[in-house]
Structure 1
Amino acid sequence: MMPISVNVTSQQIYSKCGTINMENGPYLDGESSENELDDYPGYFKVFRRDRSSINMRENEEPVMNFVENREVRLRRRSSAIPPFDPFQKYPIPDLVIENIFEFLCKRDISNAMRCCRRFYNIGEASKFWTNFDLGDKRITEFTLAALLRRNTQYLRLADAKCDQVNTCELKPYHSKLFGKIPCSLKLLDLSRAILNKKQLAMLLKPCQNLVGLSLENQTIDDEIASHIAKNPHLRRLDLSMTKGLTEFGLQLIVEKCRSLEELSLAWCGLSQSTCAAISKRLTSTLRKLNISGTLEKKGVTDCVVLSIGQSCPYLNDLDISDNIEVTKTSIVIVIRHLPKLRTLSCNRCYGIDPNTFLNLTTTGIRHLNVHGCISESNLETFYAYFPNMDVNKTVLNYTAKPYQSETATHRIWGHSLR
């Protein structure tokens, strides 16, 4: 209870208000007016009310049982018992605390790290942050820097939004957070993440060991392309629907990343000269290629398909959909130069004669997608020519995508984030 100073004596109360009737409760029985009684803090105003709910609501008034307009002195309660730290009295090894932290989720570990410096140092151990899923979350640049410092290896930031930190707030931590950061990222999913150029460069600049990278719907200039090219062990690269990609930047990526197995350049708006340049520089280790959607600039032609067949003879999945410059010559090139091809997608390639697809019956292709190339009336007849082939069974292309279905978002390139 807080001490209250009231300069009223018991004699003054008896002289003004009379006696106190203890049988009916601690209420005053004198003939004093209510104005006089309101001067004393111990007075409880009592009303005779009708018990009906309507009259009770009409007569309801707040009962004041506290002192108003008084200055109250607050005292901090001082404990006679000195503060006790069990971690100092009983020397608990860091290994024991670390084993306890293994049973906590990442949110609880973050809360525990705020307790003391020792918990922070133990909780910052890299093994707690090897997998991290921040998909569809709102984060800051501090979060990105902290994840890089904690040696995160598998990071998902799909559909995340990163808020920019004020330069004045970031300056005191710049040397600690953004110095020479030993980055251990191997799989990085930035699909549809809302990042500006500085934030994207912050993530990619220290990366040199990436194996899988998705930059779907990001803006990529030559600087970002140079950061991507520093990863010689990159095997899966998704650049679908990116903007700002130039011929120089794309050539730099293709020439430096010679371990690529899956590459997606779908709907990047590539020009014909860019497609011709990179098709001659593709690595022979490539197994899956998606170069669909160059409608506006008419990038993919029969010559580009020929260069792809000569550079990547071991392709087993090729998607050249939505390229109106492709003709039946490309089908002949596929038959001659890509003997290991198992999946071919030519959706909405209106320049290809439908009868040309009948030549694919002698090849090893097992999955053929020709949506929009065959009229509805001839589909049944067309299916009859390919009894051992799945025709138009696949709607979406998952080349170099972090996940192989819309529901398996907790895994990126086969690695679980749980």
Structure 2
Amino acid sequence: MPEDSMPLQDLPCLSLQGSMLSQSKRVNKRKTRGCLGEGLDTECTPTELIQQWSPPHKHQRIITKGKENDSNQFVLARRSRRKKESTSGISWDHLPDELLLRILFYLPLHDLLRMSVVCKRWHRLVFDETLWHSVDLEGLTHMGPALQQVLKTGVRRLRCPRSFVEDLHFTGTGTLQITELDLSSSIIPTSALESIICRCRLLECLSLEGLQLSDTIISSLAKNPQLLQLNLSGCSGFSAPALSELLKSCSRIEQLNISWCNFNNNHVKSVVSNVSSSVTHLNLSGYRESLTLDDVKVLVARCPHIQTLDLSDSTLLMADCFPVLAQLKYLLHLSLSRCYHIHLAALTDLGKTFPMLCLLDVYGLVQDSHLPALKKETPRISINSRPFSSIARPTPANVLVGCFSDRVMWNRPCRLRIKL
């Protein structure tokens, strides 16, 4: 059998253990680098061939901390990425979203907005709806863009009274999550207000005091059956039928302030005939020539659970309204200020007529010189101690400006607020 066809183990001077090693040493002495054909002509082991035609090994760079340019040798050194990472503590990137949200919850509004530009993840977390549950924007100028951004966060409680909104192009189509909203005494276009109220279905407390409204806004409010407190004091621009629809639909209203609106006789009759029977606090003041004794009779028959009633500036009312009002067994606070046709003598018997009455406002009826005598006749009734009505108002008017209570909304502060 020829040598070139013999089995590998039968070849002379070649074995798997010793001869291959000795033969590779001889080959290495005369091996030279060349093309692939030259390498295949030489006698090499498979291992040597793999090593010969593999890419040359990269020489490890000399890395010396702080001594790269010593010994007249310029070396570019780069630390590995692993060395750059902190070896102690926990990275912010490793914290779960739930823990980061809990940390962000304690930051004020300014710091929260600054953190939103750190990275995409933090921007997403900063505008999570759990952080924007309650927001106070009072005092912020150019309210339009800020208000639009806050509405998109899913805010539940929003306070921005006495604000100026140039215009608002609210493009959202979904339902807003607002349950408490205070826009009292603000300057806001009716169209912008419509774009907000038309998307509200969960309102529980609302104050639009002093705003120009429309039938569209009133009809949209009728779609909030959970409404409990409504302040429309000083509002205008809506019709009596729209008001009737609102009061019929919102049958759970407990506090209603609808004083000093631009009303006629039809508006007043719509209120007394359709107001919820569950109302306990009602301000119907300011209707000098519109509110009559017959209207009071309808109101008392419809709402027997009234505890606070303000009929101030109703100049058509006289002392004959007291037997009618006496049917309100739970009446605690009665305001008859500037009802000039009620005589002082009729007020002295109020302690007997209203056994539950605690507060009485008769500004403009009783002169200061006669007030001590009236207080003596009614010792358990506090007279003229509440100059301003707080019915359905988010912030009572008698709270001093600058104190902590000045920034509350329906007895609760907002977490995020503008600090000027």
Q: How does the TM-score come out when normalised to structure 2?
A: 0.73
Aligned to 1:240: 233
5 Å-filtered alignment, 1:87-166, equals 91-164=94-167
- The alignment status of 1:342 with 2:309, answered yes or no, reads no
After superposition, the CA RMSD in angstroms is 2.4
Distance 2:79 2:242 in 1: 68
- Sort the Cα spacing of 1:116 and 1:182 in 2 relative to 1 into closer, same or farther, 3 A: farther
Name the SS for the 1:289 alignment partner. strand
Query: How many residue pairs are counted as aligned between the two chains?
Result: 326
State the secondary structure of the residue aligned to 1:318.
Answer: strand
Distance in 2 (alpha carbons) for counterparts of 1:155 and 1:342: 31
Q: Where does residue 410 of structure 1 map in the other structure? A: 407
- Structure 1 spans left out of the alignment, 5+ residues: 1-79, 171-176
> For 2:357, which of 345, 365, 376 is the aligned residue?
365
Assess if the C-alpha contact under 8 Å between 2:137 and 2:159 holds in 1.
yes
Asked if the contact 2:231–2:393 (Cα under 8 Å) also holds between the matched residues in 1, the reply is: yes
Spell out, residue by residue over 1:154-184, the C-alpha distance to the aligned partner (whole angstroms, 9 max, x if none): 110101111326xxxx6xxxxxx62332421
* Shift in Å, 1:85: 10
Deviations along 1:239-296, one digit per CA (max 9) or x if unpaired, are 111121321221121111100000011111321222123201111110000011123x
Residues 342, 367 of structure 1: 8 Å contact kept: yes
Change (3 A) 1:226 1:85: farther
Query: CA 1:90/1:305 → structure 2, altered by over 3 Å: closer, same or farther?
Result: closer
SS state at 1:138 partner:
coil
Residue deviations 1:280-318 (CA, integer Å, cap 9, x gap) = 1111110000011123xx111111111110110000100
SS in 2 for 1:216: coil
Aligned to 1:24: none
User: 1:374 aligned to 366, 369, 387, which one?
Assistant: 366
Report the CA distance between 1:89 and its aligned residue.
Answer: 11
1:54 matched residue in structure 2: none
Alpha-carbon distance in 2 for matches of 1:82, 1:117: 26
1:335-389 Cα distance to aligned partner (Å, 9 max, x none) = 1x21110110000101112222233111221111111112333222222110111
TM alignment of 1:311-326, pairs within 5 A: 311-326=302-317
The worse-fitting range, judged by mean Cα deviation, of 146-155 and 315-324 is 146-155
TM-superposed CA distance for 1:139, in Å, is 3.6
Change (3 A) 1:248 1:90: closer
Matching of residue 210 in structure 1 with residue 203 in structure 2: yes
Name whichever of 363-372 and 404-413 sits farther off: 404-413
Partner of 1:269: 262
Mapped to 2, the partners of 1:307 and 1:138 lie a distance apart of: 46
Q: After the TM superposition, which residues 149-228 of structure 1 pair with which residues of structure 2 at under 5 Å, given as runs?
A: 149-164=152-167, 178-228=171-221
CA displacement 1:95-134 (0-9 Å, x = unmatched): 3433332332121111221233222111111111111000
Deviations 1:387-417 (A, max 9, x none): 1111111111111000234232221111221
Give 1:82 shift: 11
- Assess if the C-alpha contact under 8 Å between 1:185 and 1:209 holds in 2: yes
Q: 1:398 aligned to 390, 397, 402, which one? A: 390
Q: What percentage of residue pairs aligned between the two structures are identical?
A: 24
Structure 1 range deviating more: 301-310 or 132-141: 132-141
What is the CA–CA distance in structure 1 between the aligned matches of 2:380 and 2:102, rounded to whole Å?
Answer: 55
Cα distance in structure 1, aligned partners of 2:177 and 2:101: 21
Q: 1:135/1:361 Cα in 2 relative to 1: closer, same or farther (>3 Å)?
A: same
CA gap 1:85/1:226 in 2 versus in 1, 3 angstroms: farther
Indicate conservation of the 8 Å contact 1:124/1:150, yes or no: yes
Partners of 1:82 and 1:204 lie apart in 2 by 58
Asked if the contact 2:240–2:267 (Cα under 8 Å) also holds between the matched residues in 1, the reply is yes
Are the equivalent residues in 1 in contact too, given 2:101–2:131 (CA < 8 A)? no
Contact 2:174 2:199 in 1 (8 A): yes
What is residue 45 of structure 2 aligned with on the other side? none
Distance 2:94 2:278 in 1: 56
In structure 1, the partner of 2:323 is 332
**Do the aligned residues in 1 keep the contact of 2:311 with 2:335 (CA within 8 Å)?**
yes
Q: Secondary structure at the match of 1:118?
A: helix
**Segment of structure 1 superposing worse, 402-411 or 153-162:** 402-411
Distance 1:320 1:147 in 2: 38
The structure with the largest alpha-carbon Rg is 2
Paired residue for 1:310, among 289, 293, 301? Answer: 301
Change (3 A) 1:103 1:274: closer
Distance 2:243 2:371 in 1: 39
Give CA deviations for 1:211-263 in whole Å, capped at 9, x if unaligned.
11000110111011011111111111001111213212211211111000000
- 1:409 match: secondary structure: helix
Structure 1 SS opposite 2:406: coil
The structure 1 segments of at least 4 consecutive aligned residues displaced by more than 4 Å after TM superposition are 80-92
Give the AA of the match of 2:297.
Answer: L
Matches for 1:7-156 after TM superposition, within 5 Å: 91-156=94-159
1:153 and 1:180 mapped to 2: Cα distance? 17
Deviation of the 1:92 alpha carbon: 4.6
- Larger mean CA deviation between 140-149 and 355-364 belongs to 140-149
